[in-house]
Amino acid sequence: MNERGGRLGHLIPVLLFVLFFVLCCGVLTGVFLRAAALRQQTEVYSAAVQLCRNQAEQYRAGQAAPGSYWYDEDFRPTPAGEGAYRVEITQTVQEQAAGQLCTGEIRAYDQKEQPLYALEAAVFLPGEEAAHGE
């Protein structure tokens, strides 16, 4: 009986250590998962910034009309509704004395339609040019 009690007494520190080890592993796994989630958020945000910037330059150059554009994770255009990102351009036109000042509001959304980033790009078109994007 004493020998059995001694064995159990010997196992208690081992069990405590195993419990401590498992707890530490759980905490560290949580930390790694949190870092992975943070990295994923950063990648999505950076992609949204890049897509908005590209779209703004195309808008200024007159190559992007108001509307929605879909892109996959590699920034390749995809058919409507199938991409990982949606970039939307809405336009306001102000008549100026010598032409038009077109301002495009460019917004990027993810698949769940959560807004990721927004940018405003303006371009002045002299009077002889047609309305932007038309």
Partner 1 sequence: MENRRFRVGSVAVLFTVVLLCVAIFAALTVTTALADERTAQRYGEHVYRQYACENLGQQWLAQARAYQAGLGPLPENTRQEADGGLSVSIQGDSMELRIRLSPEGQLEQWSCTPQWQPEEHWQLWQ
Q: Would you tell me which residues interact with partner 1 (CB under 8 A)?
A: 10, 13-14, 17, 21, 24-25, 28, 31-32, 34-36, 38-39, 41-42, 45-46, 49, 52-53, 56, 96-99, 101, 103, 117, 119-124, 126
The residue (of 80 and 118) whose beta carbon lies closer to partner 1 is: 118
The residue (of 46 and 63) whose beta carbon lies closer to partner 1 is: 46
What amino acid occupies position 18?
Answer: V
What amino acid occupies position 86?
Answer: R
Token pair 């530490």 is found at 24
Q: How far is the CB of 48 from partner 1 (least distance, A)?
A: 8
Q: What are the tokens at 28?
A: 């560290």
66-85 residues labelled b (16+ CB within 10 A) or e (exposed):
beebbbeeeeeeeeeeebeb
The residue (of 21 and 75) whose beta carbon lies closer to partner 1 is: 21
CB 68 within 8 A of CB 109: no
The residue (of 110 and 124) whose beta carbon lies closer to partner 1 is: 124
